[in-house]
Structure 1
Amino acid sequence: MPTVTVTGLPSPIRIEAHEGERLVLALERGGTGILHRCGGAARCTTCRVKFEAGEPERMTVAERDKLQEKDLLGTARLSCQILCDHDMTLTPLQTESGTGLEAGKAPAEQIEPDPVWV
């Protein structure tokens, strides 16, 4: 099982992710308080993370397009568009406790919209 190490919180968290699990769901299950205002559909960028190690090489077209639109390409990734298939170390950039906002509807088990990889 891939290990997701989360930094940038009051104390680091290690999450044993399920193989192929969406990163946003692993982060939520691990108690990070990650935001996902749009429900994990690559529309809002509140689930963005910054990688310290293990950043995936591929991304979905939806992620690339949204990051380009928000001028975030190369500085952040969307956890709703990433599958856990290897170890990663990252910092969530927006959390419920850090912003005072609540997460949106629960993200689906599979990536939405249907992923087209680049």
Structure 2
Amino acid sequence: MATRVLPLVKLLSKIGLAGGAVYIVYDQELLSNSEKGSEALHKAKEAIPLAVDEWRKYFGWEGQLPAAPKMNFSLCEFWNSGVRRSMSALSVAPTRAGEYTQQGWQYMKNLTK
């Protein structure tokens, strides 16, 4: 009986966490525009360290947990660079496909000689 219940509990936990994440994204309108997303990021940067400190004090883990890493980079800049690289790769894809096809035909011609 317990062997059947544990996987069910794990599955329900994962579904609950995923559903909660989707609800928060929808409720905070994080996918609407970049201003709301950056505003939510700034709120999270302010709220998370306070919450972690509160929980550390509550559980008595004051000296046991390492300090949280500092984020000294722009998440938007990394996101934009990834989008730029993806779009650049997609824009040269037809040319590259033509080049690779040409190389493949040349290779096949050389094999048949």
TM bracket (short chain): under 0.3
Question: Of the two structures, which has the highest relative contact order with CA contacts closer than 8 Å and spacing of 6 or more?
Answer: 1
Normalised by the size of structure 1, how large is the TM-score?
0.22
Structure showing greater radius of gyration is: 2
**Larger proportion of strand:** 1
**Larger proportion of helix:** 2
Normalised by the size of structure 2, how large is the TM-score?
0.23
